[in-house]
Amino acid sequence: MTIRLAWMLPAIIASLLAQRCAAEEINDLLLALPVLPKPQAHAIPAPAEIKQLATGVSIVPGERVVLGGTVIIDQGPADGLEVFACLQNGKTHESVLRLSAEGGQMVKAAFIASFGLSDGVGSPEDSGLPARGTPMRVTMRWADPDKPTSWWAVDASSLVRDRVNDKAYPALPFIYTGSRFMTVEETAPNGSAIKRQRFMLDSTKSVVDIYDEGDALLASPFPGAGYDKHFEANSAVCPPVGTAVQLDFQRLDLPLSLVESADGELHRTGEGTPVLSDAELVALLAGTYGVDAKCEVRAIGIVVGGATERAKDVAVRLRLLRRAVEAKAWVVPVFIPSAAR
């Protein structure tokens, strides 16, 4: 065993160094992206009442899921945000919201009932791998304390600020991956080892993630999410601690989607179509996501097959961020399994 570990050690070190270099380049590229107007909350009419499945969980079938909660962090924290919305006993020391929902299985059931979603693949901590799943627009809304019939709304991603580039994020989708069931070994009352199926969301309690965590229900869209210290609440927009809020989830058609083939090349519609050159990518990104472009969200979809190595996603993300800098376009890629289309 010792000999085998010694043989593997150089490869492990090389992988860790490559991840660190990629993370540092992502930070540099984010700094080089063009400056967008600061995100602002906008006024909306009071939302209509919708059917409640359970405490804090409501749905409009085929249209939306709404989760109730409370703001618990509106600035900082000093050691960084990991979660945007957690269940009752989740990571409340590093989450913007505590949700009212009492269990992860009911929350997931609401997403399946409303959208018929299939599971994606999360991003394990420190892996540097983008999540693969279904893009969801997540909007936070709350009542105006001075006008009871008026409400405010803002994209949840815009309530996250990046200390590296000293800016809040624009509207981005979060990525539904669905968490997962795992067989875990536990100790029975008589001391014997037993195996049980556990729904991991009931363990992590992380419903919407900012930092990479393999078993959140919705994964982070932020590049560099393997390092949490640079994320904090956008105090310029976030309502104060104690504010009751609603999180509104809707499926999202992105302004532009490309196809990633098994060799890591990008195509407009599929592997049988021509490979896109860097110059073509720059033109596409500039036209769709330039500073003055009227796009609702600043994300490009990358449709990928399940057999494609996830390391290819890392290379594609870096390539697209480099081209975005050249195009003077603010955009980040999110990865969508072809089976989820």
The tens digit of pLDDT for each residue in 91-146 reads: 999 999 999 998 999 999 999 999 999 999 999 888 889 999 999 999 999 999 98
79 token code pair: 């050691």
pLDDT above 50 (res 28): yes
pLDDT at 6: 57
Count Cβ neighbours within 10 Å for each residue of 116-146 and write b for 16 or more, e otherwise. Answer: ebebbbbbeeeebbbbbbbbbbbbbbbbeee
Q: What is the pLDDT of residues 259-279, one digit of tens each?
A: 999 999 999 987 778 999 999
* Distance, CA of 210 to CA of 226 (rounded, Å): 9
- Write down the mean pLDDT value for the chain: 90
Q: How far is CA 118 from CA 54, 205, 250, 340, in A?
A: 22, 20, 15, 7
Token pair 């409370």 is found at 70
Average pLDDT on 256-260 reads 97
Residue 330 has pLDDT above 80, yes or no: yes
Q: Is 301 helix (H, G, I), strand (E, B) or coil?
A: strand
The tokens for 96 are 């913007």
Cis preceding-peptide flag for 77 (omega within 30 of 0): yes
- Does 302 score more than 60 pLDDT? yes
The H or E element containing residue 111 is: helix 104-115
- Tell which wins on pLDDT, 186 or 128: 128
Give the integer Cα–Cα distance in Å for 108 and 222.
22
Mean pLDDT of all residues in 234-244: 97
Q: How large is the angle between the packed helices 310-327 and 2-32, nearest 10 degrees?
A: 20
pLDDT at residue 4 in the model? 55
For β-strands 95-99 and 83-86, DSSP reports them as parallel
Least confident residue range of 102-111, 117-126, 225-234, 244-253: 225-234
Pick the more confident residue, 152 or 12.
Answer: 152
Model confidence band, residue 17 (pLDDT cutoffs 50, 70, 90): very low
Question: In the predicted model, what is the mean pLDDT of residues 19-32?
Answer: 80
